[in-house]
Amino acid sequence: MAEFSLIETIRERCAVARDDVRLGIGDDGAVLAVPIGHELVVSTDTLVAGVHFPLQTAPFDIGWKALAVNLSDLAAMGANPAWATLALTLPSADAPWVEKFADGFAALAREHQLALVGGDTTRGPLSITITVFGFVPAGAAVTRAGAKAGDWICVTGTLGDAAAGLACVLACEDGADELIGRLNRPAPRIAAGLLLREVASAAIDISDGLLADLGHICARSGVGAEVCVDDLPMSEAFGEYADAPTRQRLQLAGGDDYELCFSVQPDRAPALLWDLAQSGCAATRIGQIVVGREIMLTDDSGAQIEMPLRGWEHFA
């Protein structure tokens, strides 16, 4: 498959029509229209084979996940997805692989009416770089700064499933389809993020592990946090998979959850949690923001817990 045939395959399989795309794939650049009264939220993530996904991952799942991890950033900021660009580096122009990859990308893109508007292809070790663009009403983006002492700390969904799924893949364990599914096809919490907008005081998506990402909120907001490890939400499959020490490690530092961690004022929290539950994406209170700079972990009895691992860092 020649390069331009590869590009045409991706264009055809990922086509989503939007009125705000004045000119899409096929020219030197895309021409796009941002709605009046809105701001543009932009985020980029790169996925590298063997680092961000196991080498044996199916191309459909790679296409899905490459877009999902970017959409998760938009969700954390309360943005509506609109457009994306894709830079795809391949060791060879493998037509069946590219078709399945594009189908995975397109399946998730169509769920959110997201249009692929440009990108690049080149030869080299397998990696995928996607930039996503979304809209928020002017001044309404949720950021990592803004958490205040006394705010509740909450997370959507359940934690630890994807990290457990990765462990199952690497160990070639059978019977863990639900956990592996959470690893390969995370669900970006776009609808939940829209509910957080103008209610949450701060938010972040959990990609590198709860402790690492909550730490970013604390750093940007100039606060500390207390988290009760016994309150961390888990799925039934995860509870059956791991013993207590393993559960703590994977939920706190495993990463790849792509859930939202957010802070909210106590008087606004019950209504927000109700709205999230009604939307089909329940959230759980796991702690509170405190004065200071550190994150302290406790159990149900209030006893402090030490956790040497804090999450994923590429150059650690």
Residue 58: DSSP 8-state: -
- For β-strands 21-23 and 31-32, DSSP reports them as antiparallel
pLDDT at 1 over 90: no
Query: How far apart, in whole angstroms, are the C-alpha atoms of residue 66 and residue 272?
Result: 29
Count Cβ neighbours within 10 Å for each residue of 277-293 and write b for 16 or more, e otherwise: eeeebbbbbbbbbbeee
Annotated binding-site residues for Mg(2+) read 28, 43-45, 73, 120, 205, 208
Q: What per-residue confidence (pLDDT) applies to 311?
A: 55
Query: pLDDT (tens digit, 9 = 90+) per residue, 120-171?
Result: 999 999 999 999 999 999 999 999 999 999 999 999 999 999 999 999 999 8
Largest CA distance in the chain: 63
Which tokens is 125 given? 């070790």
Quote the pLDDT of residue 2. 66
Q: What pLDDT, on a 0 to 100 scale, did the predictor assign at position 314?
A: 45
The closest of 114, 132, 26 to 70, measured between CA atoms, is: 132
Beta bridge partners of 226: 288, 296
**Binding site as annotated, residues for ATP:** 119-120, 144, 207
CA distance to 99, 247, 297, per residue, from 26 (Å) = 19, 48, 52
- State how far the Cα of 86 lies from the Cα of 167, in Å rounded to an integer: 29
All domains in the chain, ordered by first residue: 3-137 (3.30.1330.10), 152-305 (3.90.650.10)
Query: Which residues are annotated as part of the binding site?
Result: 28, 43-45, 52, 73, 119-120, 144, 205, 207-208, 256, 312
pLDDT in tens, 294-310: 999 999 988 998 876 65
User: How does the average pLDDT of the chain come out, rounded?
Assistant: 93
Residue the block writes with tokens 């799924």: 165
pLDDT above 90 covers a percentage of the chain that reads 85
Residue numbers in the known binding site for substrate are: 52, 256, 312
The distance in angstroms from the start CA to the end CA of the chain is: 39
Position 316 scores a pLDDT of 47
Residue 87 per-residue DSSP state: E
Is 289 in contact with 146 (CB distance < 8 Å)? no
Helix, strand, or coil (residue 304):
strand
Among 162, 165, 168, 198, residue whose Cα is nearest residue 72 = 162
pLDDT at residue 256 is higher than 60 = yes
Each residue of 195-245: pLDDT tens digit? 999 899 999 999 999 999 999 999 999 999 999 999 999 999 999 998 988
Residue 51: the pLDDT is 87
CA proximity to 129, closest of 25, 53, 45, 51:
45
Is residue 283 a contact partner of residue 269, using CB atoms and an 8 Å limit? no
Nearest to 160 by CA among 282, 243, 64, 46: 243
